[in-house]
Amino acid sequence: MSHPPHGAVPSFEDDVRLARAALAAGDVGHATHHVAGAVGSGADRPECAALIDAFCAAAAPDPLAAVPATGLWFGLGALRAALLVRAGRGGEAVPLLLACLAAAPTAPFVPWLARWLDDPDLVAAVAPGDVARELVACTRHEPLGAALHAHARRLHDAHPDHDLLAFAAVKLARMCWRIGDAVAIARAAIARGPMPMTSIGLAGALREDGDLEGAIAAFTEALRHDPDNVGIQLDLGDLNLQLGHLAAASAAYQAALVLEPENTWAPPSILFVAWRADGTQASADALRAYAAACPDNRRAQDLLRDLAAS
């Protein structure tokens, strides 16, 4: 998914005018470009719905054939999603529209999504892995947490056994600080069976809620199902260090380093834990030497400041 082709971007009104002129002239190919432009900037406007009606009439009997399935930019992708819904293929439309939102988080597509997800049959028809993947992509954009968390919850409720979809629902709830909802979604999902990604989501929610011991338990459960996950080991190291569980912190950092010898977070963390454990000048000097040798290692520089402040 991409942004519009380079060049001057017409206004919504100009795209509507140019699309109607192209349709009147029988030039469906040219009209497609401007209908997509109108969708990209004004999908939530009544004029846009009427324009899509006119496009479908001109491109009958198969309007979808006028819109490519690949190489889409977000306006064209959203237009194709709308045509999929009209063709009774809403299960394909939802992940496509979410991909458009991930590419253009301020585009006015959420009202379409909300309306489509009011149809239980459409919600049941989506492939949970497809919508989960696109919802996770949407979590890169913080404002989409508030816009999408309820829709993610609805999709998760319809497909409760899909780990990544549960994780997405948890993550989007966390993004808009609905920590209680995030914890409830995660705990209910995990109660149904092993959910490694959802356990990671639960750990993050509990960490944000200040329940560090609970976060450690959730990360430990996730690690049981994904023992080679370096990120989980680093999180366990950080949490145990924060709580003063120095032996556990060191073990987690060491495990991360075994899994990923080139990791840059674990080595200074191990040195810092050693200094916290024995408080000796030798341990402090070891961390200082590492930080001096690796001036671009932000973790080392941050820990050196913590050492200096102690």
Domains observed in the chain: 1-126 (1.25.40), 145-226 (1.25.40.10), 227-310 (1.25.40)
Which among 138, 35, 25 has a CA at the least distance from the CA of 78? Answer: 35
**Composition of the chain by helix, strand, coil, percent to 5:** 75, 0, 25
Three-class secondary structure assignment of 40-86? HHHCCCHHHHHHHHHHHHHCCCCHHHHCCCCCCEHHHHHHHHHHHHH
Q: Which position has the token pair 């209680």?
A: 180
Confidence class for position 2, pLDDT limits 50, 70, 90: low
pLDDT at 10: 84
Most distant CA pair in the chain, distance:
83
Give the residue-averaged pLDDT of 11-27.
95
Digit-coded pLDDT (tens) for 32-75: 999 999 999 999 999 999 999 999 999 999 999 999 888 899 99
pLDDT at 8: 58
The model scores a pTM over 0.85:
yes
User: Residue 146 in contact with residue 172, Cβ under 8 Å?
Assistant: no
Give the residue-averaged pLDDT of 141-162.
95
User: Residue 132 in contact with residue 167, Cβ under 8 Å?
Assistant: yes
Give the residue-averaged pLDDT of 149-171.
97
Confidence class for position 9, pLDDT limits 50, 70, 90: confident
Give the residue-averaged pLDDT of 103-130.
96
pLDDT at 5: 64
Which among 30, 105, 48, 111 has a CA at the least distance from the CA of 74? Answer: 105
Burial degree of 78 (CB within 10 A; 0-12, 13-18, 19+): buried
Q: Which position has the token pair 């409760």?
A: 160
Give the residue-averaged pLDDT of 106-124.
97
Can you say whether the dihedral through the CA atoms of 229, 235, 239, 245 is positive or negative?
positive
Q: Is the pLDDT of residue 7 over 70?
A: no
Average pLDDT over the chain reads 95
pLDDT at 121: 96
Q: How far is CA 265 from CA 120, 209, 231, 261, 300, in A?
A: 46, 24, 10, 11, 8
**What gap in Å lies between CA 59 and CA 231, rounded to an integer?**
50
Q: Is the pLDDT of residue 105 over 60?
A: yes
Measured in degrees and rounded to the nearest 5, phi and psi for residue 125 equal -85, -15
Give the residue-averaged pLDDT of 118-138.
97
Digit-coded pLDDT (tens) for 173-204: 999 999 999 999 999 999 999 899 999 999 99
Digit-coded pLDDT (tens) for 222-236: 999 999 999 999 999
The pLDDT > 90 percentage for the chain reads 93
Sequential DSSP letters for 6-45: SS----HHHHHHHHHHHHHTT-HHHHHHHHHHHHHHHTTS
pLDDT at 71: 87
Tally of CA atoms within 13 A in the half-sphere of 280 that contains its CB: 7
Burial degree of 297 (CB within 10 A; 0-12, 13-18, 19+): middle
pLDDT at 6: 57
